[in-house]
Amino acid sequence: MAPVVGVIMGASGTGKSTVAGLLAHRLGWPSAEGDDFHSAANVAKMHAGHPLTDADRWPWLRTVAAWIGEREAAGTGGIVTCSALKRSYRDLLRDGHPDVRFVCLVGDRDLIRQRMEHRTDHFMPPSLLDSQLATLEPLQPDEPGGVVDVGGPASQTLDQAVAILAAPTALHPTVAPNNSPTP
């Protein structure tokens, strides 16, 4: 597989960090946790249960985009987590970066909320899930990447994510839960 930069995206609680770690291990590519690029003020705001504004997000997104550019320049490929909830955010991440592929993780709201309620090592409270789901703009046909439902086994989610990153075309090979491509 040619090196690309996979942006593992979606609402909090969909398993971005888990999937990114598994992908980086399987592919041998460098990885980064997008949350690590947030300012202390952003983390404090989310921890307090307040959603970020676009003004809060733009500097963070530019830092993630810089990491993407570094991976492309090095020719190593890479995996980074980033909610990338809006099309405008994804446009910024891929601007000038032709090797970007988005893997959008989606799932049942109750499943995601349950996951959020049971994790202890994250600053994002379950109370912000609904605002994230309301903000999420689906990938469009002209965006490079695909969608994976996280309701199945982790191995299936991982295989579908690899298929998206390995697709010969960058344009939206959406993968359904049953592993069959959909239009």
CATH of the domain at 98: 3.40.50.300
Distance CA 33, CA 15 (A): 12
Percent residues over pLDDT 70 in the chain: 82
User: How much is the pLDDT for 44?
Assistant: 87
Examine residue 109 and state whether it is found in any structural domain, yes or no.
yes
Examine residue 115 and state whether it is found in any structural domain, yes or no.
yes
32-36, 49-53, 121-125, 154-158: which has the minimum mean pLDDT? 121-125
Distance CA 154, CA 77 (A): 22
Pairing of strands 78-81, 5-9: parallel
User: How much is the pLDDT for 183?
Assistant: 35
Structure token digits, residue 145: 């990447």
Examine residue 72 and state whether it is found in any structural domain, yes or no.
yes
Query: What is the chain's mean pLDDT, rounded?
Result: 83
Q: Which residue has the higher pLDDT, 93 or 40?
A: 93
Phi-psi region of 137 (alpha: psi -120 to 50; beta: other; left: phi over 0): beta
User: How much is the pLDDT for 66?
Assistant: 96
Tens-place pLDDT, residues 9-44? 988 778 888 899 999 999 999 999 998 898 888 888
CB 91 within 8 A of CB 44: no
How many domains, the chain? 1
Examine residue 173 and state whether it is found in any structural domain, yes or no.
no
Residue 114: domain span: 5-166
Angle subtended at Cα 77 by Cα 76 and Cα 82, rounded to the nearest 5 degrees: 140
Alpha-carbon dihedral angle through residues 31, 165, 113, 58, given to the nearest 10 degrees: 60
Tell me how crowded residue 126 is: count the other CB atoms within 10 A of its CB.
Answer: 17
Examine residue 37 and state whether it is found in any structural domain, yes or no.
yes
Q: Is the pLDDT of residue 120 over 80?
A: no
User: How much is the pLDDT for 46?
Assistant: 78
Structure token digits, residue 35: 């949350």
Examine residue 122 and state whether it is found in any structural domain, yes or no.
yes
Q: Across 63-107, where does the E strand assignment appear?
A: 78-81, 100-106
User: How much is the pLDDT for 174?
Assistant: 46
How remote is the C-alpha of 158 from its chain's centroid? 13
Reported as a pLDDT band with limits 50, 70 and 90, residue 175 is very low
Examine residue 75 and state whether it is found in any structural domain, yes or no.
yes
User: How much is the pLDDT for 104?
Assistant: 94
Examine residue 175 and state whether it is found in any structural domain, yes or no.
no
For helices 87-94 and 54-74, angle between their N-to-C axes, nearest 10 degrees: 30
